[in-house]
Amino acid sequence: MKLTPHFTLAELTASSKASQLGLDNMPAEEIVPRLVRTAEMLERIRSTLNAPIVVTSGYRGQALNRAVGGVTSSDHTQGHAADIVAPGYGSPYQIAKLLAPLVATLGIGQLILEGVKGKQWVHVSTRVPDKTVNRVITITDAGAQLGIQELA
């Protein structure tokens, strides 16, 4: 099912971990409109980067979210979030640095540059966090910092 010109439901629900564990990662019907909004946000980001986006993690059902160690309040479980990379544009740091001043314009509720366990990606969500200070942050193995910080 195509959600937007460049993003499908299959792409936003794909998970090698779910396949490995035999978990059904199809969202409930009420989640799909949120995934459409997330895909629309990804379209705006793709256009801004002028490069294709690879979704490394989109929707995660509760069982999958537990299996990957996600927090119980994860926006992924509600269809609001996606973790992305765009190798054709640049590093996750370069992507986050470009997007940070554009969060309101692009409809990004939260932008997180993540660098944990040797991997890096950009987390984007349509939902604005309760504490607006957490709208643009960097998370590493050492913890969270405000703003986009260069990763080692």
Q: What is the pLDDT of residues 100-115, one digit of tens each?
A: 999 999 999 999 999 9
Would residue 4 count as lying in a domain?
A: no
> How are beta strands 143-146 and 136-140 bridged, if at all?
antiparallel
Would residue 1 count as lying in a domain?
A: no
Would residue 27 count as lying in a domain?
A: yes
Q: How far apart are CA 83 and CA 98, in angstroms?
A: 16
pLDDT tens profile 63-92: 999 999 888 889 999 999 999 999 999 999
Its domain, for residue 112, covers 9-146
Q: How far apart are CA 69 and CA 47, in angstroms?
A: 31
The CATH number for 80's domain is: 3.30.1380.10
Confidence at residue 99, expressed as pLDDT on a 0 to 100 scale: 98
User: Is residue 148 over pLDDT 90?
Assistant: yes
Would residue 113 count as lying in a domain?
A: yes
- How many domains is the chain partitioned into structurally? 1
